[in-house]
Amino acid sequence: MEEVSKDPVQFSKGINLSELMTSETEFHIDLDFKKSNVNPMINADEDLFPDMDEEGDSDTEDVLKRIEESTDKMMLSSPDYHSFEKLAVNMIDCVASGDVKILVIEEGDGPLVPVDAEVTIHYAAYWEKAKIPFDSTLTMNQGAPKRIRLGAGNIIPGLEIGLTTVKGPTARFNLLVQPAAAWGPRGVPPRIRPEPALFVIVLYDVKDNQAAVRFNDLPTEEQTKFETTSKTVKALRMDAKELFQKRKYSKAMKCYQQAMTVLSMAHPKTAEEQAELKDNRVKIYVNLAVCYYKLNKPKYVLLMCENLDKIIDINNHCKALFYCGRANEQLGKIEEAIKYYKKALKLEPKNTDIGKALAAIDDKIKKSEKKETEMWQKVFNTEVKEKKVYAVDQDFQNDVLSMCEDLSKREEHSKFELPPGLMKEEVECIKGLVEGFSNLVVSEEVRGNAKKLTIIKKSYP
């Protein structure tokens, strides 16, 4: 273990920053952690850390090698440089003191990260010239990206400052953090040195929790700017989506309604902004319809679809048509529901949800018909016989029926002798059709190896 501790060694669990900054902490190195720490963002067939089958220095080297490979795959490996001093030349100060410097590798596609946002990141922290990180999110939460609420004191100041300096999500950047903006000038011996640390960071997601509050505090002139409304609506829609996934439909609906109010204040100036505004309105109306459906308020679902129809042709929007069908089904208007489902299915023939909805309605109709039949059977104390299907052509059946009707109408006793050589299916058909006439019977007479069949019209006194 003395040899192992000379170089940075991966922890089986992540560092608790609160413990580091408030108390003395002991760390125990575990070289026998298994496949449970697998990053779901890496190919599932590749283990982040291999099983340890043998003991010795080669095992330690293998672990460190795998850690280095995993940081490469997640774009968290340490960059090439001669020293932190030379690396800092290409970086920009995040604060006037120079305690936090940043180098943006890949710019994010949104606005600056708010100081009170909730971010999802991966990071790896390195000492100068080290190839293996002394701390990384890859060893936390089974390797999943870490979700952090900014402004809550959960991370070191330098990391928080850097995160609020970039645009997100989907940003990649490096932070060089001095001890004063990290764990303090003395570090946290023996593990955390009183030295600068390099953080390699990938920002995956940004959730603006206070967008609506900030929007309300802005002057009207700022609120009407399309950039402001677009940013606020995006945050509100993200909140609504998360609430919907938690089945908090009423709260999700309020977020969508708030987003629609914000959109009403937007002043788009370009065709691109107008298209974005229209797209937002369409999506919000559809999502409101879904929320109302979940809350069993079909009339409001149809109202949302009516509002949507004023913006686009609803007959070209599969999801809107589908929920029109859902709403009509809730209202008991089955024929209307089927009409909308079929329109939606025409737009997306392979949509399984629409197919299931139509199949469910068909099943309900069949069950309803069966119940109605049973009810009338009880009323009249009789059985309704199902129409039999015979394996003969329709012309043969029509001829037999015509003959039976003719015999049945005669006043006198009559009979009709059937020709020999009839097939089994034809005989079954004749017997079945004759059963439908109360005054007709089929007589069978055996003659040698053959049967003589006769339809007889019974005479009553």
CATH of 212-370, one of 3.40.50.2000, 1.25.40.10, 1.10.10.10, 2.60.40.1180: 1.25.40.10
Q: Is 459 helix (H, G, I), strand (E, B) or coil?
A: coil
Sign of the C-alpha dihedral computed for residues 11, 13, 18 and 22 taken in this order: negative
Residues in the chain: 461
Query: What is the average pLDDT across 69-82?
Result: 81
Over the stretch 81-110, which tens digit does the pLDDT of each residue have? Answer: 889 999 999 999 999 999 999 999 999 887
Most confident of 50-59, 238-247, 416-425: 238-247
> Could you tell me which residues are beta bridge partners of residue 122?
202
The pLDDT of residue 377 is: 66
CA distance 362 to 346: 18
Tell me if 155 sits within 8 A of 117, measured CB to CB: no
CA distance 210 to 286: 24
The pLDDT of residue 139 is: 83
Instruction: Write the CB contacts of 395 (distance below 8 Å, at least 6 apart in sequence).
Output: none
Q: Which helix (H) or strand (E) holds 173?
A: strand 171-177
Q: Is 91 helix (H, G, I), strand (E, B) or coil?
A: coil
CA distance 123 to 113: 17
CA distance 6 to 460: 116
Question: What does the DSSP 8-state code read for residue 62?
Answer: H
- Mean pLDDT score of the chain, rounded to an integer? 81
Q: Quick check: 126 pLDDT over 50? A: yes
Q: Is 451 helix (H, G, I), strand (E, B) or coil?
A: strand
CA distance 159 to 25: 21
CA distances from 416 to 396, 435, 440, 455 (A): 16, 15, 11, 5
The pLDDT of residue 42 is: 32
- The values of phi and psi at residue 217, to 5°, are -85, -10
CA distance 316 to 308: 11
Class of domain 394-457 (CATH, top level) = alpha beta
Yes or no: domain 4-207 corresponds to CATH 1.20.1250.20: no
Over the stretch 328-338, which tens digit does the pLDDT of each residue have? Answer: 999 999 999 99
CA distance 96 to 178: 13
Q: How many CB atoms lie within 10 A of CB 279?
A: 12
Q: Quick check: 430 pLDDT over 90? A: no
The pLDDT of residue 41 is: 35
Label residue 380 by pLDDT band (50, 70, 90): low
Token digits of residue 346: 């025409």
Q: Show me where the domains of the chain are located.
A: 4-207, 212-370, 394-457
Q: Token pair 């995993």 is at which residue?
A: 70
Instruction: Write the CB contacts of 90 (distance below 8 Å, at least 6 apart in sequence).
Output: 103
Q: Which residue has the higher pLDDT, 217 or 323?
A: 323
CA distance 256 to 152: 27
- The values of phi and psi at residue 216, to 5°, are -65, -25
